[in-house]
Amino acid sequence: MANKSLSPEGLFYFLLKSYGSDASMTKNLLIAGLLSLIIVIIVFGLTGCGSHKTYWIAFTAMPEEHEQIHMIKSDGTNHINLSANSKWQFNPVWSPDGTKLVFVNNDENDNSDIYTLDLVSGSRVQLTHGGNNTSPVWSPDNSKLAFVAKIGDFLQVFVMNADGSGEQQLTDTDADNWAPSWLEPTRIVYASNRDGNAEIYIMKLDGSKQINLTNNSALDDSPVCSPDGKIISFRSRRDSNYEIYSMNTDGSNPFNLTRNKADDENPVWSHNGKRIAFVSKRNGSEDIYLMDFNGSKLTRLTSNPAADCWPSWSPDDSEIVYASFRDTNWELFKTNITNGNQAYLTQTPIDEFEPFCAPK
């Protein structure tokens, strides 16, 4: 059933349940109604108090040993729990137009299903039904979702329309296939170990023309496509440690971007395609680094003994949002990439991680 927790009537209903229905019902209704109005104003930005640089961040929070989807503004205000009473929800991903989130929901039977949440209407829609479905990613035009499902003993890549219709299995191998990334609306890159080790593959949207792009005896995985669809960055162990490589979309010109003895991984492209954020252990613990798309102009963005992970670019590419363990639990931070100024976004006793900045 649709969850209207972000719509005015959904907020009113949720708050009314919270306040009860005893003799003070009239007072409770008034309180619930006022709170609903306030939250709607906050969520939909009707106050006009934010600048053009203030944006929403979706992330995973873990109160009481279960994961939930939360949102917060980039100035640290308006922290909202989107999961209501659900126990396990994680991996929030914004749609390219910024109106929806897709996420994974685990139920009491240990099924992992994919849902969308419409941030305008508050409608929640279950797209898959039963089994193990994870890693949803939007197509560039908002119309489709690629995801991974376990079929028998192996992981396979699927695609479906954004409303859950038209589900199609794209890979069918006696090996795992995972980490899909959209190259364009008609092609998907992904990782597969069908050749005995992890390699980067590409295929058409109907599953045809599955081609090994890397053909290397070392591990190659975690492909991420540049915004213009011309370059694929990925993680590789061909230098005896994890490095970030790039290559053309036909697999030509593989190039080591990081070239360091420490592990470098989790590449994230800026929206303008000029820079890549990544995580490196070259100073002993995980830190966030930046580099140009060709590996030049390396910049260390964070510098502390604790782990800093999950970098995400702000809509205008001026800030990096990430999770840090510097306070003995995961908290969200942001850093200005020009002046290096850092700021807390969350300061709570629970873990908050996997931030994903709204694209607009």
The residue ranges of every structural domain in the chain are 1-49, 87-212
**Predicted pLDDT at 16:** 36
**Predicted pLDDT at 307:** 97
pLDDT tens digit string along 34-93? 444 444 444 444 333 334 489 999 999 998 778 999 999 999 999 999 986 666 899 999
Using CA atoms, how far apart are residues 246 and 251, in angstroms rounded to an integer?
9
pLDDT in tens, the chain (360 residues): 333 334 333 333 333 333 344 444 334 434 444 444 444 444 444 333 334 489 999 999 998 778 999 999 999 999 999 986 666 899 999 999 999 999 999 887 788 999 999 999 999 999 999 899 999 999 999 999 999 999 999 999 999 999 999 999 999 999 999 999 999 999 999 999 999 999 999 999 999 999 999 999 999 999 999 999 999 999 999 999 999 999 999 999 999 999 999 999 999 999 999 999 999 999 999 999 999 999 999 999 999 899 999 999 999 999 999 999 999 899 999 999 999 999 999 999 999 999 999 998
Query: Token pair of 215, please?
Result: 């053909």
**Predicted pLDDT at 87:** 66
- Domain covering 87-212 in this structure, CATH number: 2.120.10.30
**Predicted pLDDT at 26:** 38
Nearest to 274 by CA among 297, 308, 302, 301: 297
Amino acid letter, residue 353: F
List Cβ neighbours of 60 (8 Å cut-off, separation of 6 or more).
67, 68, 69, 70, 89, 90, 91, 92, 352, 353, 354
User: What is this structure's pTM?
Assistant: 0.85
